[in-house]
Amino acid sequence: MTKDKSFSSKNNLLYLVATPIGNLNEVSERFISVIKEMDIIAAEDTRNTGSLLSKLGISKDFFSLREHNENQASEHLINLIKEGKKVAYMSDAGYPGISDPGYLLVQNALKAGIRVSTISGPSAFINALVASGLPTNHFYFHGFLPAKEGEAKKELEELKEKKETIIFYEAPHRIIKTLNLLLNVLGNRKAVIARELTKINEEYIRGDLSELVELDETTLKGEMVVLIEGNKEIKDISDKKILSLVGYYKKQGLSNKDSIEVVAKELQIPKNRIKKLVL
């Protein structure tokens, strides 16, 4: 067990800084004051972050920490912090580590005994979720689906029974293809496209998947989040109740297979759920 107090000292501390997802006015006072204190900024795209900071009148030294060099660059970052330098990491938009580099960096920093803290800001999926109108009490963030259709389908099959609101990131050139895949694999459900969040063209499109697939792709420009209602068909029936009913039918002389079939019909739940419990 380790206990790290983020505010105990400014040494040996790595800041992960959330950046605007489109609207520069979302830069906070804390963002500015922490960045001003830093000696060096590690960035996913040094040009991008350089231009953000120059708009804020801040000039800093940078180095690049991207997906393809995350391990190596995090070693460099850790050495700088060990030498007493103040370093923050920023990805291109939103939070590092959310469909962006950051996870390996945090792992490596913690292993090296460096404390990790965040500077809060927007994340596309949180903005999209809270305004979507879909349930926010339980949700599952999936991020990007694989580009290959077969792999994407396989991942979606595994999400079929999730009751939580499901959240995807998607690119505009693939959106209609992805919506069709979602409809085919998950069935018709309520869905929301949240696009261009925090920007002048921000738009929420709410409907059923069968309606959204009919949208004209040329009207769906920019960055977007896709949210899908969880599986509403899965009833709130406890595992204990299922197992005791299967036990009952087995005592009556039914085989495992037949008991599963009868219980699935009786409780109107998928056979797979019972199979997982019984086998």
Q: Would you tell me which residues interact with ligand SAM (CB under 6 A)?
A: 21-22, 91, 93-95, 98-100, 123-125, 169-171, 194-199, 223-225
Using CB atoms, what's the residue nearest to ligand SAM? 94
CB of 217 to ligand SAM, least distance (A): 15
CB of 141 to ligand SAM, least distance (A): 10
Comparing C-alpha atoms, which of 95, 100, 155, 162 is closest to residue 127?
95
Residue whose CB is less far from ligand SAM, 61 or 67:
67
- The sheet with strand 61-64 has its strands ordered as 61-64, 40-43, 87-90, 13-17, 115-119
Angle of helix 256-267 versus helix 239-251 axis, rounded to 10: 130
65 in Cβ contact with 74 (< 8 Å)? yes
Residue 122 zone, left/alpha/beta (φ > 0; ψ -120 to 50; rest):
beta
E strand or H helix at 244 = helix 239-251
How far lies 85's CA from each of 25, 79, 228, in Å? 29, 9, 44
Separation CA 195–CA 204 (nearest Å):
6
CB of 82 to ligand SAM, least distance (A): 27
Residue whose CB is less far from ligand SAM, 55 or 275:
55
Residue whose CB is less far from ligand SAM, 74 or 91:
91
CB of 248 to ligand SAM, least distance (A): 48
Residue whose CB is less far from ligand SAM, 75 or 202:
202
Residue whose CB is less far from ligand SAM, 12 or 117:
117
How far lies 273's CA from each of 19, 36, 254, 264, 266, in Å? 41, 54, 19, 9, 14
CB of 196 to ligand SAM, least distance (A): 5
Looking from the CA of 139 toward its CB, the CA atoms found within 13 Å total 22
CB of 253 to ligand SAM, least distance (A): 55
Residue whose CB is less far from ligand SAM, 23 or 268:
23
- DSSP letter for 174, please: G
* For the chain, the helix, strand and coil percentages under 3-state DSSP, each to the nearest 5: 45, 20, 40
CB of 97 to ligand SAM, least distance (A): 8
Residue whose CB is less far from ligand SAM, 99 or 165:
99
